[in-house]
Amino acid sequence: MRDKILLVEDSKTIQQLYRNKLTLEQYQVITADNGMEAIKILSQEKPDIILLDLMMPVMDGYKVLQVIKTDPKLSGIPVLVFSAKGQPEEVEKALNLGASGYIVKATTKPNEVVEQIRKALSQKPKVHEITRYLIEIRENAYDAKKLASDYNMDELRCQKCQAPMLLELIPDFSHETPWFSGRFFCPRCQT
Protein backbone atom coordinates (compact mmCIF):
# COMPACT_ATOMS: atom_id res chain seq x y z
CA MET A 1 0.00 0.00 0.00
CA ARG A 2 1.32 3.43 -0.94
CA ASP A 3 2.18 5.96 1.76
CA LYS A 4 -0.29 8.82 1.98
CA ILE A 5 1.00 12.41 2.13
CA LEU A 6 -1.03 15.44 3.13
CA LEU A 7 0.46 18.45 1.32
CA VAL A 8 -0.66 21.70 2.97
CA GLU A 9 0.29 24.54 0.63
CA ASP A 10 -1.54 27.70 -0.44
CA SER A 11 0.39 28.22 -3.70
CA LYS A 12 -1.41 26.27 -6.44
CA THR A 13 1.78 26.22 -8.54
CA ILE A 14 3.90 24.64 -5.80
CA GLN A 15 1.02 22.36 -4.84
CA GLN A 16 0.72 21.05 -8.42
CA LEU A 17 4.51 20.68 -8.84
CA TYR A 18 4.82 18.54 -5.69
CA ARG A 19 1.59 16.63 -6.29
CA ASN A 20 3.00 15.54 -9.68
CA LYS A 21 6.47 14.74 -8.28
CA LEU A 22 5.15 12.77 -5.30
CA THR A 23 2.61 10.87 -7.43
CA LEU A 24 5.44 9.86 -9.79
CA GLU A 25 7.33 8.62 -6.71
CA GLN A 26 4.36 6.33 -5.94
CA TYR A 27 2.90 8.34 -3.04
CA GLN A 28 -0.80 8.98 -2.61
CA VAL A 29 -1.21 12.77 -2.29
CA ILE A 30 -4.00 14.73 -0.62
CA THR A 31 -3.83 18.53 -0.74
CA ALA A 32 -5.11 21.36 1.43
CA ASP A 33 -5.00 25.06 0.50
CA ASN A 34 -4.80 26.36 4.09
CA GLY A 35 -4.51 25.27 7.70
CA MET A 36 -8.23 25.11 8.42
CA GLU A 37 -8.78 22.87 5.40
CA ALA A 38 -5.91 20.64 6.61
CA ILE A 39 -7.53 20.24 10.04
CA LYS A 40 -10.84 19.33 8.37
CA ILE A 41 -9.09 16.70 6.21
CA LEU A 42 -7.30 15.29 9.27
CA SER A 43 -10.64 14.69 10.95
CA GLN A 44 -11.46 12.23 8.13
CA GLU A 45 -8.09 11.00 6.82
CA LYS A 46 -4.94 9.79 8.54
CA PRO A 47 -1.93 10.44 6.30
CA ASP A 48 1.42 8.76 6.89
CA ILE A 49 3.23 12.12 6.76
CA ILE A 50 2.36 15.81 6.43
CA LEU A 51 4.25 18.36 4.33
CA LEU A 52 3.23 21.69 5.92
CA ASP A 53 3.71 25.25 4.71
CA LEU A 54 3.95 27.93 7.42
CA MET A 55 2.67 31.10 5.74
CA MET A 56 -0.95 30.47 4.77
CA PRO A 57 -4.27 32.29 4.98
CA VAL A 58 -7.00 31.33 7.48
CA MET A 59 -4.69 29.36 9.83
CA ASP A 60 -0.90 29.42 9.68
CA GLY A 61 1.32 26.34 9.80
CA TYR A 62 2.46 26.92 13.39
CA LYS A 63 -1.13 26.69 14.63
CA VAL A 64 -1.77 23.59 12.48
CA LEU A 65 1.37 21.97 13.89
CA GLN A 66 0.24 22.74 17.43
CA VAL A 67 -3.21 21.23 16.78
CA ILE A 68 -1.65 18.08 15.30
CA LYS A 69 0.90 17.55 18.06
CA THR A 70 -1.60 18.11 20.89
CA ASP A 71 -4.19 15.70 19.47
CA PRO A 72 -3.47 12.14 20.65
CA LYS A 73 -4.98 10.71 17.42
CA LEU A 74 -2.67 12.80 15.20
CA SER A 75 0.46 13.42 17.27
CA GLY A 76 2.30 10.36 15.90
CA ILE A 77 2.14 11.59 12.29
CA PRO A 78 5.51 13.02 11.23
CA VAL A 79 5.28 16.63 10.01
CA LEU A 80 7.89 18.13 7.71
CA VAL A 81 7.64 21.91 7.67
CA PHE A 82 7.93 23.09 4.09
CA SER A 83 8.45 26.84 4.08
CA ALA A 84 9.92 29.80 2.25
CA LYS A 85 11.06 31.05 5.67
CA GLY A 86 14.33 29.68 6.96
CA GLN A 87 15.49 31.91 9.80
CA PRO A 88 16.98 29.96 12.76
CA GLU A 89 14.25 31.17 15.15
CA GLU A 90 11.52 29.94 12.77
CA VAL A 91 13.18 26.54 12.41
CA GLU A 92 13.60 26.28 16.18
CA LYS A 93 9.98 27.27 16.79
CA ALA A 94 8.71 24.59 14.37
CA LEU A 95 10.95 21.90 15.88
CA ASN A 96 9.85 22.91 19.41
CA LEU A 97 6.24 22.44 18.32
CA GLY A 98 7.08 18.87 17.27
CA ALA A 99 8.04 19.05 13.58
CA SER A 100 10.13 16.07 12.41
CA GLY A 101 12.12 18.25 10.02
CA TYR A 102 12.32 21.60 8.27
CA ILE A 103 12.66 22.14 4.51
CA VAL A 104 13.36 25.56 2.99
CA LYS A 105 11.56 25.61 -0.39
CA ALA A 106 13.94 27.98 -2.18
CA THR A 107 17.08 25.97 -1.45
CA THR A 108 15.74 22.41 -1.64
CA LYS A 109 15.19 20.55 -4.91
CA PRO A 110 12.13 18.30 -5.35
CA ASN A 111 14.34 15.16 -5.30
CA GLU A 112 15.79 16.27 -1.95
CA VAL A 113 12.27 16.80 -0.60
CA VAL A 114 11.39 13.23 -1.62
CA GLU A 115 14.54 11.97 0.18
CA GLN A 116 13.56 13.83 3.36
CA ILE A 117 10.07 12.34 3.16
CA ARG A 118 11.54 8.83 2.78
CA LYS A 119 13.88 9.43 5.70
CA ALA A 120 11.07 10.72 7.94
CA LEU A 121 8.83 7.77 7.02
CA SER A 122 11.61 5.27 7.71
CA GLN A 123 12.21 6.59 11.20
CA LYS A 124 9.90 5.89 14.06
CA PRO A 125 7.78 9.03 14.44
CA LYS A 126 8.70 11.23 17.35
CA VAL A 127 5.77 11.91 19.61
CA HIS A 128 6.27 15.30 21.14
CA GLU A 129 4.79 14.95 24.61
CA ILE A 130 3.12 18.16 25.69
CA THR A 131 1.97 18.57 29.25
CA ARG A 132 -1.66 19.54 29.60
CA TYR A 133 -2.99 21.27 32.69
CA LEU A 134 -6.41 20.75 34.26
CA ILE A 135 -7.59 23.71 36.33
CA GLU A 136 -10.64 23.80 38.58
CA ILE A 137 -12.51 27.09 38.42
CA ARG A 138 -14.03 28.19 41.71
CA GLU A 139 -17.53 29.55 41.24
CA ASN A 140 -17.04 32.69 43.33
CA ALA A 141 -13.53 33.58 42.17
CA TYR A 142 -12.89 36.55 39.87
CA ASP A 143 -14.84 36.29 36.59
CA ALA A 144 -16.06 32.70 37.05
CA LYS A 145 -19.76 33.67 37.15
CA LYS A 146 -19.38 35.82 34.01
CA LEU A 147 -17.52 32.98 32.26
CA ALA A 148 -20.27 30.51 33.20
CA SER A 149 -22.92 32.95 32.01
CA ASP A 150 -21.16 33.80 28.72
CA TYR A 151 -20.78 30.12 27.82
CA ASN A 152 -24.15 28.89 29.19
CA MET A 153 -22.45 26.56 31.63
CA ASP A 154 -24.88 26.64 34.56
CA GLU A 155 -22.44 27.46 37.38
CA LEU A 156 -19.51 25.72 35.63
CA ARG A 157 -21.10 22.27 35.83
CA CYS A 158 -21.41 19.62 33.12
CA GLN A 159 -24.79 19.79 31.40
CA LYS A 160 -24.98 15.95 31.26
CA CYS A 161 -23.89 14.86 34.75
CA GLN A 162 -23.63 18.11 36.75
CA ALA A 163 -20.00 17.38 37.77
CA PRO A 164 -17.80 20.47 38.21
CA MET A 165 -16.12 21.37 34.91
CA LEU A 166 -12.35 21.75 34.63
CA LEU A 167 -10.47 24.02 32.25
CA GLU A 168 -7.84 22.11 30.25
CA LEU A 169 -4.92 24.32 29.20
CA ILE A 170 -2.61 23.22 26.37
CA PRO A 171 0.67 25.12 25.86
CA ASP A 172 0.90 26.99 22.57
CA PHE A 173 4.57 27.45 21.67
CA SER A 174 3.84 29.60 18.62
CA HIS A 175 4.00 32.76 20.76
CA GLU A 176 7.02 34.46 22.33
CA THR A 177 5.39 34.68 25.76
CA PRO A 178 3.63 31.83 27.59
CA TRP A 179 0.35 31.19 25.80
CA PHE A 180 -2.28 28.47 26.04
CA SER A 181 -5.25 27.11 24.14
CA GLY A 182 -8.04 25.95 26.40
CA ARG A 183 -11.23 23.91 26.52
CA PHE A 184 -13.73 22.99 29.20
CA PHE A 185 -13.58 19.35 30.27
CA CYS A 186 -15.83 17.14 32.39
CA PRO A 187 -13.71 14.65 34.36
CA ARG A 188 -16.68 12.33 34.88
CA CYS A 189 -18.05 12.23 31.30
CA GLN A 190 -14.57 12.62 29.76
CA THR A 191 -15.95 15.25 27.35
- How many Å is the Cα radius of gyration of the chain? 19
Triad 108, 100, 52: Cα angle to 5°? 60
Say if residue 24 is in the same domain as residue 93. yes
Domain assignment of residue 162, given as a range? 133-185
Give backbone dihedrals phi and psi of 85, rounded to 5 degrees, phi first. Answer: -80, 145
pLDDT in tens, 1-31: 589 999 999 999 999 999 999 999 999 999 9
Q: What is the CATH number of the domain that holds 50?
A: 3.40.50.2300
Strands 166-171 and 180-185: antiparallel
Say if residue 15 is in the same domain as residue 96. yes
Give the number of domains in the chain.
2
Say if residue 100 is in the same domain as residue 151. no
- Residue 164 gets which letter from DSSP? B
Q: What is the pTM of this model?
A: 0.67
Q: Identify the domain boundary among 122, 148, 176.
A: 122
Say if residue 116 is in the same domain as residue 137. no
Q: Identify the domain boundary among 92, 122, 152.
A: 122
pLDDT in tens, 98-153: 999 999 998 999 999 999 999 999 885 445 556 777 788 877 788 888 888 887 77
Q: Identify the domain boundary among 98, 122, 146.
A: 122
